[in-house]
Structure 1
Amino acid sequence: MISQYFKNKRTIKILLPEKYDVNKSYPVIYTLDGFELFPIASSYVNFLTKYGVIPNCIIVGIYHNNRNYETMPNYGSDIRIPVTEFLEGSANLKNHLLEEVIPIIKKEYTVSGFNVIIGHSNTATFVNEIISKNENNFNGYIAITPDLLKKQTDYLEKYLSEKQLKRTYYFVSSGLKDDKYRLESGIVLDTVFQKSKNTNFKGLHKIYNAGHLDLVPKSLNDALMFIFSDYKNYDDFNDKVLNSKFSISDYIDEKSILINNIYGINYNLNEEDFYYLLNLVLEKR
């Protein structure tokens, strides 16, 4: 595709679910750093969907022609641009993604409206910065070892305290063997997550015994499961089943409605989950 923002030809790759059905809707996972993240994300998603851990998803890889220009974080090198705004190249990447790539995917495929974005290193910082942009179109954010200034984390904290969000999930991973400033950024974000009282926001920071590169495979699986943590989540069942007026039929209907409201997909209880819930009922009642 030709981008009006970069004025050049751009490459994106699209992986559809194995049994893609135009009569069904699918969440979409967008990976920045396509050369690195698209193959591994595709592999992880393939196995997680195969075993029913997450729903079937469309995966889109964004490939950079000049990564340094397109993803350079704003550390104040240009005094004319506040550090809470994108530099020129990253601003073009944001516009390319939001105004060119996403509309094409929405037009060509049956999407559910639940979008996830994944970034590593510079593009992880990009992921963090796109959250607070009003035109952003994502529900799930995965930032693998971002590097942020205090003004940027303060801005995110203020944004979360003031903004009425749709259901939003934000996963951050840090490595003990990585650059100390990146680890510090993750720890600060963890504090922001803990302090947030926004009921529609779920944030999680995890630290791994990993360096800059191996943090990707070590944390991506956890990240994807967190983003879809409300898919087939029956953690509240043990408490609700003790209510004398409890109806398992109503419970399943409520879960189906919740999954549809969050992820935009229809969900029917499978056999394994049915027997799991049935055994809990027998144990409790």
Structure 2
Amino acid sequence: MILKNKVLFLFFLLGLNIGFSQKTKDIIIGEKISVFSDTLNQERTILIHLPKSYNDTIYSPKIYPILFLLDAQDHFELTTGIANFMSNRLDSKLIPEYIIVGINSENRISDYTPSNSTIDPEGVFVDAFKVSGNSSKFLNFIEHELLPKIRRDYRTSSFKILTGHSLGGLTAVSDFISDDSLFDGYLAIDPSLWWDEGLLTKIVQSSEFNQEEYYKKKIYISGANNSNSINDTTAMRVNQVKFYEAVQSKPNIASKVKYEIFENEDHGTVPLTSIYKGLQFIFENYKMHHMLGASANEIQEHFNSISKTLGLKLLPEERVIDILGNYFLDSTKEIEKAISYFELNIINYPNSYHSYFSLANAESKNGLLSKAKLNYEKSLELKPKFKQAQEGLASLEVRSDN
């Protein structure tokens, strides 16, 4: 109960003041750019959302996973809002921050279908489907044209997620089961797995399907109720269930697939819940419970473990550890614990002028004046005109004279 009250008190103190050192008059969720694709022979509109910490001037520059979002014109604002909520809750973070790269759709039938088929779920010919079957070309555009540009222009890690709805979800599932899949995680929101008479399910069921590769990649598949009755017997639901049953029969990938049905949502409303729940699944166990009561070593061990599981190096966030360290230093007067938190930041962010400054402050309060002096000096070495470190160093000299 005491620990719970500490957590609530910390949120009361800091919950409304967890922003970053950025000054702007406008609330900006992203930027729009145009990329000409030689592969697709057309200009594509791309929406970019950077995490809140991307331009922070206090803490060390970070690299970020990338989430590629299909049909960005419909889902960009929703996805950025969910991402910010899930990744900016101090010690209640559900996921790491990541860069969102939204791709506006031009011709969904062409871009998002893995094969050429002109038949709808009821077996009826659809003339508009004649252009289908170009998802491999579309994914080639992402891999060889868009991704290199994003990596050149922004600080990114190697970890990538693909999120798609409906036919976009079909693209996500198609890449997930391919031998040369591009992404590490997938969100397939109410995917159109009825396409081409359940083609993707047949691929998984075939003897040629390669399941010998060790799958670190994960996919979250959601389903909605698209019928007018309690029991959804539409082609959308039936084919999703068939695909899920097929992958569950493959022991190497069964645990990497989660299928969740939302009976109270329809095809249009299901993205909201799916994105939230899907990201939780991709970053399962990312959240460290009771971080406030944990030692610095326990925090590091948690992030080492989740990094190994995901195949992505994740560190305790410098800002969070610094805030918690100062909470122990100033509010609870646990100076030794505060020092261990600041030392953890220096281990993970050795070029952070602010981490050396925070450690020096704690050491100064603990009477470790020679150590504090060295760390103030290190902070100034990294940021020569850092006024607070200059003042801290000057205060040590006064104390030494006395």
Quote the offset at 1:40 in angstroms.
1.1
2:95–2:286 CA contact under 8 A, matched in 1 = yes
Matched with 2:221 is 172
Secondary structure of 1:11's aligned partner: strand
Pick from 132, 137, 142: which aligns with 1:92?
137
Matched with 1:198 is 252
Provide the rounded CA distance (Å) in 2 between the counterparts of 1:37 and 1:144. Answer: 11
Matched with 1:142 is 187
Q: Does 1:70 align with 2:111?
A: yes
Quote the offset at 1:136 in angstroms.
2.8
Aligned residues: 256
1:130–1:136 CA contact under 8 A, matched in 2 = yes
Matched with 1:11 is 45
Matched with 2:87 is 49
1:30–1:116 CA contact under 8 A, matched in 2 = yes
1:150-209 deviations in whole A, cap 9, x for unaligned? 4412423664632222x2111001112357111112222332443332279521111112
Choose 1 or 2 for highest CA Rg. 2
Q: How does 1:266-285 map to 2 (within 5 A)?
A: 266-267=315-316, 271=324
1:193–1:204 CA contact under 8 A, matched in 2 = no
Q: Does 1:153 align with 2:201?
A: yes
Matched with 2:237 is 183
Provide the rounded CA distance (Å) in 1 between the counterparts of 2:179 and 2:248. Answer: 23
- With over 3 angstroms needed to count, the CA separation of the structure-2 counterparts of 1:248 and 1:186, relative to structure 1, is farther
Q: Structure 1: which amino acid aligns with 2:100?
A: I
Provide the rounded CA distance (Å) in 2 between the counterparts of 1:220 and 1:180. Answer: 23
Quote the offset at 1:129 in angstroms.
0.6
Q: Does 1:122 align with 2:167?
A: yes
1:127–1:142 CA contact under 8 A, matched in 2 = yes
Provide the rounded CA distance (Å) in 2 between the counterparts of 1:199 and 1:144. Answer: 19
Secondary structure of 1:137's aligned partner: coil
TM-score, structure 1 normalization: 0.78
Identity %: 25
Deviates more, 1:178-187 or 1:222-231: 178-187
Quote the offset at 1:258 in angstroms.
2.7
Matched with 2:146 is 101
Provide the rounded CA distance (Å) in 2 between the counterparts of 1:121 and 1:89. Answer: 16
2:112–2:133 CA contact under 8 A, matched in 1 = no
Greater RCO (Cα-Cα under 8 Å, separation 6 or more): 1
TM-score, structure 2 normalization: 0.57
Matched with 1:231 is 286
2:204–2:247 CA contact under 8 A, matched in 1 = no
Quote the offset at 1:140 in angstroms.
0.7
- With over 3 angstroms needed to count, the CA separation of the structure-2 counterparts of 1:197 and 1:248, relative to structure 1, is farther
- With over 3 angstroms needed to count, the CA separation of the structure-2 counterparts of 1:23 and 1:212, relative to structure 1, is same
Quote the offset at 1:23 in angstroms.
2.8
1:40-86 deviations in whole A, cap 9, x for unaligned? 111110111122221111001011222332224536449xxxxxxx9
Provide the rounded CA distance (Å) in 1 between the counterparts of 2:133 and 2:241. Answer: 28
Q: Structure 2: which amino acid aligns with 1:145?
A: D
Deviates more, 1:210-219 or 1:173-182: 173-182
2:111–2:138 CA contact under 8 A, matched in 1 = yes
Q: Structure 1: which amino acid aligns with 2:37?
A: S
Secondary structure of 2:82's aligned partner: helix
Q: Structure 1: which amino acid aligns with 2:237?
A: L
2:67–2:99 CA contact under 8 A, matched in 1 = yes
RMSD: 3.2
2:299–2:316 CA contact under 8 A, matched in 1 = no
2:162–2:186 CA contact under 8 A, matched in 1 = yes
Provide the rounded CA distance (Å) in 2 between the counterparts of 1:75 and 1:54. Answer: 37
Provide the rounded CA distance (Å) in 2 between the counterparts of 1:77 and 1:169. Answer: 30
1:171–1:205 CA contact under 8 A, matched in 2 = yes
